[in-house]
Amino acid sequence: MCDERDHVKYTVEGLIGLLLSEGSKQKWGHYKVYDLEFPSEEELKHIKGIIIPGSKHSAYDSTIPWLEPLKTLIRKIY
């Protein structure tokens, strides 16, 4: 059984990163929200799009430390 970080490392970063970067001249990056890593205000000015994959966690689970900062980011960029 893998935890969320293994899932992100092997599935999200790996598969999506491969699909988006193969043959692309665009620069793609990723942020590890589960480690409270988010784009800065300056980075947000230059980001053209954001992909937020799903998670095994509930959007209503108040025990997840990265959930509220992620919701705040989504409200800000929306």
Residue-wise pLDDT tens digits, 2-54: 456 666 666 666 666 666 666 667 677 778 888 999 999 999 998 888 888 77
Report if pTM > 0.85: no
Q: What SS3 string covers the chain?
A: CCCHHHHHHHHHHHHHHHHHHCCCCCCCCCCCHHHCCCCCHHHHHHCCCCCCCCCCCCCCCCCCCCHHHHHHHHHHHC
Tokens of 73: 């980011």
For the chain, the first-to-last Cα distance in angstroms comes to 35
